[in-house]
Structure 1
Amino acid sequence: MIYEKGHVTGTDMREDQVEVARKYIEYHLEKYGFQAPKVTFIHGCIEKLGDAGIRNESYGVIICLARIFLSCLLLHDGELYFSDVSASLELPEESRTQVFWD
């Protein structure tokens, strides 16, 4: 389901990663028929998001990769999800070295 309301902000401290994400904005606008982007990608250091224009207590949901620093951005009744992997046992070599992205 595609939502007409809402907005997603992606951040990365590596400018090349932000540029890769920005490269696909037009593609998704066309694919889903939106008039304006539903995403913004910001280059910035996670510990200094205020410098990138992101205010504390300004997001309803945050999904992060092991960066608890983002919790200050949550609204009072917001939700925080971690998108990290952990294991309680030693994984086989094949599982540890398999790459799921380019």
Structure 2
Amino acid sequence: MEQYFLQVQTIVSRLRFPQVNHPRPWDFTTFHSRFTHPSDLLSQQVTLYCVTSTHAHMVETPADINVYSSKTSPFMKRAQFQHAKKVMVISLRHFYR
């Protein structure tokens, strides 16, 4: 049986928000916190932040923050960047499953 692991990273600091560029995995300084089951991606607080050629990067925001609302921020990527508490990383192979 194949194992799927989701890496959870705690955000230590944020780099300067990319005004023009798309979100990138190095927008945050993080450290590895733990591995967990990919079913944790089904949480309402987890949204896709960016995709590289090998991994999908999601961010987890507090339950009281709606990153989809223009009242939070005019752009979803800015709301994600400002309110993210954790970054979750999974390989694309497993993300697609």
Taking structure 1 as the reference length, what is the TM-score of the superposition?
0.23
The structure richer in helix per residue is: 1
More strand by share: 2
| Larger RCO (alpha carbons 8 Å, 6+ apart) | 2
Bigger Rg, structure 1 or 2 = 1
